[in-house]
């Protein structure tokens, strides 16, 4: 069985976690397959956006507990290497130069919650649920913590990381974690509409905007930051993509990347 199904849809590629009987738990092989797909499509200029979804009833149940039991008996060096694999995957996903959408149709627990948090957009079905049960298992949501704090906000992250209680899709949207919460039958349609909006933007501009967001998200507003942001615009404005975009606007035509 293919652990990660790859489905091209126009200029986007949909990546389907495919361990439905294990609720798409992220074992080492699935993490590797997802990392390889990210590397492959980063290099492909024809692919403008990615969508991550899950087969079966769940989006992703997080880490593979059977593997975690094995990891508990590993040496400290090997156990850290095991954990670092997922940390690198999340970091790669968060800094990915192309937009990434999490399609959450069911449960997104533990590492699955963190996987969604590391994406640029989270679109969920109304029946989706989120949960961080680690502390109830004697564990800690460590690698996913930074992404949860940024996506949920510090106070909400504190609540759900420490209590392990479930978070409904409606409440996740109220907290600002979800970008859209729709009936299950409308989930793909809503994501396709979002992808269409993203395809209207210049690909280099999107990558630059993501880098800028990462830089300014928690940065204090200082004269140095003002200078840095001015430099970003000056550099982008001088590029071929900006010249094409401005020219297309003034000439009342679509830019070449659409």
Strand partners of residue 54 = 17
List phi, psi (to 5°) of 256.
Answer: -65, -25
256 is a domain residue: no
The percentage of residues in the chain with a pLDDT greater than 90, rounded to a whole number, is 71
List phi, psi (to 5°) of 74.
Answer: -80, 165
Confidence of residue 235 (pLDDT cuts 50, 70, 90): confident
257 is a domain residue: no
- Taking 70 as the threshold, does the pLDDT of residue 105 lie above it? yes
**Tally of domains in the chain:** 2
pLDDT at 55: 97
Q: Compute the half-sphere exposure of residue 227: CA atoms within 13 Å on the CB side of its CA.
A: 3
Task: Let me know whether 121 and 70 are in one domain.
Answer: yes
The percentage of residues in the chain with a pLDDT greater than 70, rounded to a whole number, is 96
Average pLDDT over every residue of 199-206: 93
**DSSP of 226-255, one letter per residue?**
HHHHHHHHHHHHTSHHHHHHHHHHHTTS--
Average pLDDT over every residue of 241-256: 85
152 is a domain residue: yes
**DSSP of 129-155, one letter per residue?**
EEE--GGGGT---TTTHHHHHHHH-HH
Of 89, 73, 65, 84, which is closest to residue 139 (Cα–Cα)? Answer: 65
Average pLDDT over every residue of 235-240: 86
Task: Let me know whether 134 and 60 are in one domain.
Answer: yes
Q: Is residue 160 a contact partner of residue 167, using CB atoms and an 8 Å limit?
A: yes
Q: What's the domain range around 235?
A: 203-250
Angle, helix 154-163 to helix 145-152, in steps of 10 degrees: 130
Task: Let me know whether 20 and 48 are in one domain.
Answer: yes
Average pLDDT over every residue of 108-117: 96
Confidence of residue 226 (pLDDT cuts 50, 70, 90): confident
258 is a domain residue: no
pLDDT at 67: 66
Average pLDDT over every residue of 23-49: 95
Hey, which residues are catalytic here? 134
- Taking 90 as the threshold, does the pLDDT of residue 83 lie above it? no
- Taking 80 as the threshold, does the pLDDT of residue 61 lie above it? yes
Q: What is the mean pLDDT of the chain?
A: 92
According to DSSP, residue 184 is labeled G
Average pLDDT over every residue of 70-94: 80
226 is a domain residue: yes
CA distance 234 to 239: 9
Task: Let me know whether 212 and 192 are in one domain.
Answer: no
Average pLDDT over every residue of 12-28: 95
Q: Compute the half-sphere exposure of residue 5: CA atoms within 13 Å on the CB side of its CA.
A: 13
Task: Let me know whether 88 and 49 are in one domain.
Answer: yes
Task: Let me know whether 225 and 146 are in one domain.
Answer: no
- Taking 70 as the threshold, does the pLDDT of residue 66 lie above it? no
pLDDT at 70: 63
- Taking 80 as the threshold, does the pLDDT of residue 170 lie above it? yes
Task: Let me know whether 218 and 91 are in one domain.
Answer: no
Average pLDDT over every residue of 110-122: 96
126 is a domain residue: yes
What pTM value is reported for the model? Answer: 0.90
174: tokens are 């109220």
Task: Let me know whether 74 and 141 are in one domain.
Answer: yes
Q: What is the CATH number of the domain that holds 122?
A: 3.90.226.10
According to DSSP, residue 83 is labeled H
**DSSP of 152-188, one letter per residue?**
H-HHHHHHHHHH--EEEHHHHHHTT--SEEE-GGGHH
Task: Let me know whether 235 and 127 are in one domain.
Answer: no
Task: Let me know whether 179 and 222 are in one domain.
Answer: no
> Where is the domain boundary, 183, 199, 215?
199
- Taking 70 as the threshold, does the pLDDT of residue 68 lie above it? no
Task: Let me know whether 208 and 193 are in one domain.
Answer: no
Confidence of residue 228 (pLDDT cuts 50, 70, 90): confident
Confidence of residue 7 (pLDDT cuts 50, 70, 90): very high
Task: Let me know whether 160 and 216 are in one domain.
Answer: no
């Amino acid at each position: 069985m293919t652990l990660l199904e790859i489905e091209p849809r126009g200029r986007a590629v949909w990546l389907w976690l495919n361990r439905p009987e294990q609720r798409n738990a992220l074992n080492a092989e699935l993490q590797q397959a997802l990392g390889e797909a990210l590397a492959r499509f980063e290099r492909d200029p024809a692919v403008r956006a990615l969508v991550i979804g899950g087969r079966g009833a769940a989006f992703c149940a997080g880490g593979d507990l059977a593997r975690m039991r094995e990891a508990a008996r590993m040496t400290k060096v090997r156990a850290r290497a095991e954990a670092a694999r997922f940390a690198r995957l999340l970091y790669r996903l968060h800094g990915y130069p192309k937009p990434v959408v999490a399609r959450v149709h069911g449960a997104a627990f533990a590492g699955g919650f963190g996987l969604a948090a590391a994406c640029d957009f989270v679109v969920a079905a109304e029946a989706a649920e989120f949960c961080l049960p680690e502390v109830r298992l004697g564990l800690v949501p460590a690698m996913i913590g930074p992404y949860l704090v940024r996506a949920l906000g510090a106070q909400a992250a504190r609540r759900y990381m420490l209590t392990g209680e479930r978070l409904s899709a409606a409440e996740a949207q109220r907290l600002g974690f979800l970008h859209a919460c729709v009936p299950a039958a409308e989930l793909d349609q809503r994501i396709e509409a979002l992808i269409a909006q993203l395809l209207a933007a210049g690909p280099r501009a999107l990558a630059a905007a993501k880098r800028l967001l990462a830089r300014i998200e928690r940065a204090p507003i200082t004269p140095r930051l003002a200078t840095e942001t001015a430099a970003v615009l000056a550099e982008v404005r001088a590029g071929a993509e900006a010249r094409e975009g401005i020219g297309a606007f003034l000439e009342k035509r679509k830019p070449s990347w659409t």
